[in-house]
Amino acid sequence: MHVVLLYASAKFVAYVAWCFLGLHWAGLRETQGHRILKALGLGTVRLIIGWIVGMGVGLLTLFLFHNFVAAYFLILVPVRWVEWSAISPFIFKRVDADEIRAMRIPALSRMWRLGGIVLSCAIDIPFVINGNGFPSGRVFC
């Protein structure tokens, strides 16, 4: 149980920091305190999204894949794109209407989402190593 709390805490701190950095990159013209509060809220929401979506994805992967490594890269990484995409509009609000119509994602937002995926996966590494490989259930968010 302590490993799950440590894992969730690591994710929370990293997600808040990543959201704070995104708010900085987006040029949010608010006080530092307001930016911190907004990052705390968005990081919390991202963690909750990860756990909720993760439970469904975990059950799906148990039925579809016998190899958790394949499921991790084929399912979880694209799911993380969607999870970070749910947070992105609250950070990168200034999206050109032409880009929306063309279904293009602004470069800064895209790089932030990709960085979020790398961050999410990087936090998994110590827990995978400590657990001697990938677990057979869904603990990652």
Which residue bears the tokens 């694209």? 78
What residue type is assigned to position 50 of the chain?
A: G
Q: How far apart are CA 124 and CA 80, in angstroms?
A: 13
Q: How far apart are CA 127 and CA 95, in angstroms?
A: 37
Q: Which of 81, 71, 70, 72 is nearest to 113 (CA)?
A: 81
pTM recorded for the entire structure: 0.81
pLDDT tens for the chain, 141 residues long, are 687 888 889 999 999 999 999 999 887 777 888 999 999 999 999 999 998 887 777 667 767 777 767 777 888 889 999 999 999 999 987 654 445 555 555 788 889 999 999 999 999 888 777 765 554 444 555
Q: Which of 116, 103, 96, 98 is nearest to 19 (CA)?
A: 116
